[in-house]
Structure 1
């Protein structure tokens, strides 16, 4: 009797699983696998077992698949979850231009404990209200306040580079490590109006807390188990995560109160005058000030609202800009002709004045440096992926995307596509000259995203990039690491094994090198 009941139960479970799989197949699997090529997947784990276990293995396997599928759209299964990677320009344009495909879910949910429903992670009406609220923070006049901070902070950074280059005596320096000290100081002062002294090596607790969170989040992104909240809470990382969040909340609460008092003083005013003498004397406006004084439906923002948006600004503006500056330096070290032309542009603007601070207007005249930055970000995009989630069944050009599918835009693959760029692994800034772009698709290179959810801080990032590179070019010759023989094509070759002083890329969230980014600096 027992055996009969047991067999019936087992049979019922098998039938139920078969029925559920049939429903899932009809709703999801057949649409994904019949429309898109992709690597062989396995039940439950999908392609996760093929992604590798080391930080750089994920990127190596993606690079292999980009080439295998000829830089065309394909799919992978992250466990039971389908990810469709759109690389072809017309599909990228459709996704980024659509107002129906702006929803973010996986993997952005892992940022919720820190960033909540801030501008990066928020959705729907809440996101639209925040976007409208924050847009004035990047008005021309406020950007000029930010430029003042960028100039004074980058001056301190140049002194650090002079000290480091003198101490190194012609040996290599890790620009990845050094540049991150600049960008964290800039972002903290522009975001909160407070100086954290990372450049001088005396950072505030805020720096360590942000660093901890930026390391923990990617560990969760690429771990099957740590992605699960209940499992994550039993790990040592969770305690570090909570301590970092608590540190930021305590420090931010003090800073917010200080800024509130400053805003109430008689000598505080936002940037609104063209009088440079008056402008130099008044307190500089911080991103935080706009949030403190803002009203939504007649009500001030709560501490949590302010915390989310300031954290988002700092998270998006620190590592991303550091990555862009670092790889711009590396690319110019490997391309002396490009570096020479970029330096000549600086000489035309400044002559032999190495100490002069760029004005907003002068930065707009750095046309060739613009091309260098665009070409760097095409090859080394600071954010290698953008994600969307299809909340409803959707048609993207001629592809049906089932509800719940994660739409991935691999910014790196888009910029490396041989269908868009001849010799894509050659560093040629001239390819972005206007005369070379007459037949180009505007969505073949989207390092700052595009459409309704484009990067709101793009102008801010470009200010910091151009100021830093301008001052660096005027003070130093940038030389490659002497032992490095690696070409750009080899950097992105999944089978290439980096040697001494060569790049070994990975993408925790932003693009970085596990081996640092070694170059040499020689004073001019």
Structure 2
């Protein structure tokens, strides 16, 4: 059974699956509910013990994102059990602001430049695996969604925790992450966390394994950085900031001339806290990046004109040397490749909605107040496919970001959310995707073998083609 807000959602998006007689549509004032439903602004449902308000309207979505006094992120009801209730994504108010300030330094331009060599090595490794997988399959099309999930997990793990983690552990995390995603559904049977072999039970154990692995990496990084090591990954840079902050405080307490004060004075975080934060980064990136990668390769194969322009731009940026490493300035300079990535994020947004919970009664419209404890879910997809803002929004058109006016429609650009909890790694995502598709265009050829379900969409945390994207990769001469 599906409830869809008729007339407010383009195409087949924003479907919420329900389960038989346990689900019923509820609203405190049914007549007012019918008015809101007809207006395309609100939809309300009751799922087991949770009352859920859906807000597909762009301005209401902004209102939710920018109302931290009334709402807090909750993702899904079981998320705190999976990630841990003390995860920084669940903080709000001053605690969240202070925590986030310390993390902002991990995504500066200097930091992003530092991560690129490691990311490029991962891409080279996996591009070789793509070609070999196609060979091993006799040159026949192979569904690549799984390998796209794996390459993104490897890029994330190497960027977050570097080579403190083994290849085997990265592969296990990539495999196990399916369990975590499957557990984080909007609707789960109550107490399923404690029932062996349910999705939530499996997801919790997989998440605990990732947390333990990342905590070990934090301990290794602390030893390396204390010995004067050079930072090459996110935890290195974070721990180096902690060391510099401690040194400044110790010198100040001892009355020693201290030099320049660090921009952010950090406290010392435990190995578990560091591991938990890296896990939240992986949680934010894994499904979203895998979705974007899958659609990017599918669409580029379908649009050879777009692929040819990306290939030419990347070749020119490297002065004809396909083996030249990508620097941050080079990646930022490629106007068309960046437009392709931005259009992909608009056309098939990796984040379609972001659940919040009302901390207190929230007057979301002049005529309706969301009750305390209810989930309120702002949707990002409708704003990105608004026919009044984007010309032919169901068409993939990178030119809208170059010669068109899409860049001016910032209020509709909800790919990364908005407000105090917007995505901290927006520039990182753009740069990483630009580097991936640019390098692939130079080193690989690939052919998409469409099926009857290639243009159908399945929702697995985010959006994927129903047939898992059958491709054949070959190495370019």
**Other structure's SS at 2:64 match:** helix
Distance in 1 (alpha carbons) for counterparts of 2:171 and 2:32? 43
Distance in 2 (alpha carbons) for counterparts of 1:169 and 1:350? 33
Structure 1 alignment gaps of length 5 or more: 1-23, 39-68, 271-283, 485-497
In the TM superposition, 1:53-72 aligns within 5 A as 72=40
Distance in 2 (alpha carbons) for counterparts of 1:191 and 1:363? 20
The offset of 1:37, in angstroms, is: 0.8
**Other structure's SS at 1:443 match:** helix
Aligned residues: 428
**Other structure's SS at 2:354 match:** strand
Structure 1 residues 31 and 413, CA gap change in structure 2 (3 angstroms): same
| 2:361 and 2:370 in contact (8 A); partners too | yes
**Other structure's SS at 1:83 match:** strand
User: 1:448-487: CA deviations, max 9, x gaps?
Assistant: 1122211101122222211110111112334321x43xxx
Structure 2 alignment gaps of length 5 or more: 1-25, 246-263
Structure 1 residues 253 and 215, CA gap change in structure 2 (3 angstroms): closer
Task: Report what 1:218 is aligned to.
Answer: 182
| 1:219 and 1:508 in contact (8 A); partners too | no
The offset of 1:146, in angstroms, is: 1.1
Structure 1 residues 303 and 476, CA gap change in structure 2 (3 angstroms): closer
| 1:110 and 1:217 in contact (8 A); partners too | no
User: 1:26-59: CA deviations, max 9, x gaps?
Assistant: xx44596155217xxxxxxxxxxxxxxxxxxxxx
Structure 1 residues 158 and 195, CA gap change in structure 2 (3 angstroms): farther
User: 1:248-286: CA deviations, max 9, x gaps?
Assistant: 3443343222211101113x245xxxxxxxxxxxxx243
User: 1:466-521: CA deviations, max 9, x gaps?
Assistant: 1110111112334321x43xxxxxxxxxxxxx44xx25432232323453112333
| 2:61 and 2:379 in contact (8 A); partners too | no
TM-score w.r.t. length of structure 2: 0.80
Task: Report what 1:407 is aligned to.
Answer: 376
The offset of 1:75, in angstroms, is: 0.1
- From 255, 261, 286, the equivalent of 2:234 is 286
Query: Which of the pair has more CA radius of gyration?
Result: 1
Q: CA RMSD in A?
A: 3.0
| 2:179 and 2:206 in contact (8 A); partners too | no
- From 199, 213, 216, the equivalent of 1:254 is 216
| 1:355 and 1:471 in contact (8 A); partners too | no
Matched, 1:33 2:33: yes
Matched, 1:380 2:332: no
Matched, 1:455 2:416: no
Structure 1 residues 349 and 192, CA gap change in structure 2 (3 angstroms): same
User: 1:290-338: CA deviations, max 9, x gaps?
Assistant: 1575379975223332222111112212232222122111111122222
Task: Report what 1:515 is aligned to.
Answer: 467
Task: Report what 2:458 is aligned to.
Answer: 506
In the TM superposition, 1:85-96 aligns within 5 A as 85-96=54-65
**Other structure's SS at 1:144 match:** helix
| 2:354 and 2:378 in contact (8 A); partners too | yes
User: 1:125-150: CA deviations, max 9, x gaps?
Assistant: 32222111211111221111111211
- From 152, 160, 165, the equivalent of 2:129 is 160
In the TM superposition, 1:82-481 aligns within 5 A as 82-101=51-70, 103-105=72-74, 107=76, 109-168=78-137, 170-194=139-163, 203-204=168-169, 207-209=171-173, 211-219=175-183, 221-225=185-189, 228-229=190-191, 231-237=192-198, 240-266=202-228, 268-270=229-231, 284-287=232-235, 289-291=237-239, 294=242, 299-396=267-364, 398=366, 400-404=368-372, 405-433=374-402, 435-437=404-406, 441-481=409-449
TM-score w.r.t. length of structure 1: 0.73
Distance in 2 (alpha carbons) for counterparts of 1:364 and 1:36? 43
The offset of 1:396, in angstroms, is: 4.0
**Other structure's SS at 2:445 match:** strand
**Other structure's SS at 2:163 match:** coil
